[in-house]
Chain A
């Protein structure tokens, strides 16, 4: 089978998966599209949103649809890195035993690792996760364990800040996307969510998603997509402009209310962040039936890939929720292509 037909077959599967998830978790189409992009670009995802809007259900549905071994852990203040690697207990004969923890239980077939309420865990746990996410391996029991298929989904709620640990910038940078999950806007969807019994039992709901079984081919697929989708010189120039604009937005004519633009940012996007952006952009071009990346692909993934990477000056920190989206929109509307 030649690569083009293979790519289009895979595309059909990906679109089918997206459709299924959209039927399971309704009213979150943009977020679902972003998650699908991240999965097929092999990037980790951080979800942020209010309580009870369907973050966990969404991730469970994605994990179910993709197939592959699945593990989850709840972030708590007393969770330690060792809890992810092993756990000790006394067996029925009263002998102490050491068993592999959630990260190691499935060995190298671990696919989806779901970290619930990640900001409740301590920085030590974040540090362990840094390596697992960036290098897809961890060190335990005196040797390295490769996790070639690991896909981390994490979520945190936006409401409470007590007893939480803000993710360090280094940990955030390893997530390809930070996706905001908001309440569905349309009344019809809200009515459906309230009264349709189908949405009351999440286990049955998630169980209804068919397992596409493509998970373990994702690495190969992602690589093929990255190689086949072309980027032109003009697109490179556009991406470079976007990158520079995240460092010095004022040079691109971005103006925000009541902000001294040169003092706004402490740091802009990292090289890793930009490579994630291009990967996500290529994946989007592929899903849109194209063999080349357009500026609109980058624009579509720019907010989710970049917002969590921009660090504001502490002076403007308290207006973060308002300024960051405005800044991202400002950059997108001021940088021209070609």
Chain B
């Protein structure tokens, strides 16, 4: 019997191309970065991608755990992402090895376990070798060239050298300081200053008042005296006031007149105001202003 040769060869070669049908892992790959150029403390990522046949799942317990692996190697981060039958395992190692010259090191391999029902299947992840470079200058020093310890470089002055910024900063600080001073003045933080201009302000306000505004005028003078005294001033406390502000003793008679007049105006009935009273009040303030300026 003659066997047709060509179809047989074809079938056999096709069979040779196909993978066994019961292979549990359909795709397996380990992605690593460059194997050189690392120094002490560097982190090395490693990604493992694995695809399984249906019904086969990865045993999470077989993935390496976070922590110290050996004397010089830490596993800092482990994450497993599953999408369907595809697993992506991201590992992040950190190297703590201080070599004196370039040294080849190996990330250890491990075995992933897959399970299909009762059956266990292993998939090994190979070790990976890379080189680590020294940080220290020992080799260079041995050759006795150059200096090992360089001075620190000065901080960059580019920010301050910018004259626009410097002028702007100075201007805004000045404005802020002036505003703060003015606010302080308004809030009465400088009693000495405001007390020296008490009657100046009163005189300015009095100028616009007529005898019909006597109440306002008297109140203004009262407030000025209270302000000067630091607390409300009454006629029976005048002597104390003089002790604290001796120059005002010279105008005692006018001040006494003012308090009597104010008492009559505010606290008794039937007071008739004449123009002369207002004038007398203004005279009193003039005298006080003179004392306040120190010219009396």
Q: How far is the CB of A258 from chain B (nearest CB, A)?
A: 21
- CB distance B236 to A296 under 8 Å? yes
Within 8 A of B (CB), among A294-314: 294-296, 299
- B267 interface residue, CB < 8 Å from A? yes
- CB distance B268 to A292 under 8 Å? yes
A107 CA to B13 CA in the complex, in Å? 145
- B219 interface residue, CB < 8 Å from A? yes
- CB distance B222 to A291 under 8 Å? no
Q: How far is the CB of A296 from chain B (nearest CB, A)?
A: 5
A337 CA to B219 CA in the complex, in Å? 9
Segment with Cβ contacts to A, from B137-145, B157-165, B190-198, B227-235: B227-235
A235 CA to B262 CA in the complex, in Å? 12
Known: A335-B232, A338-B218, A338-B222. A234 touches B267 (CB 8 A): yes
- B263 interface residue, CB < 8 Å from A? yes
A102 CA to B266 CA in the complex, in Å? 48
Against B, the Cβ 8 Å flags (1 = close, 0 = not) of A213-233 are 000000000000000001110
- CB distance B219 to A338 under 8 Å? yes
- What number of A residues sit within 8 Å (CB to CB) of B? 19
Q: How far is the CB of A236 from chain B (nearest CB, A)?
A: 10
- B118 interface residue, CB < 8 Å from A? no
- CB distance B231 to A333 under 8 Å? yes
Against A, the Cβ 8 Å flags (1 = close, 0 = not) of B238-275 are 00000000000000000000000011001111000000
Known: A294-B263, A334-B231, A338-B262. A230 touches B269 (CB 8 A): yes
* Beta-carbon nearest neighbor of B263 in chain A: A294
* Beta-carbon nearest neighbor of A335 in chain B: B232
Partner of B268, one of A291, A299, A336: A291
Within 8 A of B (CB), among A191-225: none
- CB distance A296 to B234 under 8 Å? yes
Residues of B contacting A234 in the complex (Cβ-Cβ under 8 angstroms): 266-267
Q: How far is the CB of B3 from chain A (nearest CB, A)?
A: 115
Q: What are 15 contact pairs spanning A and B, CB under 8 A?
A: A230-B268, A230-B269, A231-B267, A232-B267, A232-B268, A291-B268, A293-B267, A295-B267, A299-B234, A333-B231, A334-B232, A337-B232, A337-B234, A338-B218, A338-B222
A residues at B contact (CB < 8 Å): 230-232, 234-235, 290-296, 299, 333-338
**A-B pairs, 9 with minimum CB distance:** A336-B232, A292-B268, A234-B266, A232-B267, A333-B231, A338-B266, A292-B267, A296-B236, A294-B267
